[in-house]
Amino acid sequence: MTDGSEQKENTGRKPLTLTRNVSGGTVRQSFSHGRTKQVAVEVREKRSVNRPAAGGAAGSPAAGPGVPPPLRARTAAPPAPVVPETKSPPGGITDDETRRREDAVRRSMAEREAREQRNKAEEDQRRALEEAQRKRAAEDAAQQAEIEALRRGDEEQQPQEQPQLTDAARARAGGAPSPTPVKEEGPA
């Protein structure tokens, strides 16, 4: 690079600019923090898939628009028959594994139900035993209360009967009841 000659150096790099398409344009892009930026938009063209015919027969000048292209001789083997893919179960589990898992789930459910029934039977038995003990305790308490009531009734009746007997015995013996002792007042 000298002052007198202006030569461009070829670095081998492509320019960083976009070529403008007819359908391209610019769009203002706005960000959440308030910044905006103008961006070039490029619309891609759809690719058309054209298979070239073997031997260039499709591009021959003899072929016209109304003339079908010449048939090619089949040189390749016919395509393999399409085998429908068996859909594998989700998670890659085989039928045998799913069957085993279902059996295990059924067994665990049966064990759980048996355990619950056993626990329920034990609970019912325990409740029945407690109820029987409560009934026995209530019967014993009622019987004890009845015995106590009879005993109290007997004790109350016995003192009343004894004075009557003693008075009757005294009447037979002496004819008059015995005087009750009276405290004599003496010199104080």
66-106: pLDDT as tens digits: 656 666 655 666 666 766 666 655 677 888 999 999 999 99
Range of lowest pLDDT (31-35, 87-91, 115-119, 155-159): 87-91
CA–CA gap between residue 35 and residue 28 (Å, rounded): 10
Higher pLDDT, 45 or 9: 45
Above 70 in pLDDT, residue 132? yes
pLDDT of residue 45: 77
40 phi and psi, to 5 degrees? -85, 135
For the record, the structure tokens of 72 come out as: 């090619």
DSSP result, 50-83:
-PPPGGG-TT-TT--SSSPPPPPPP-SPPPPPPP
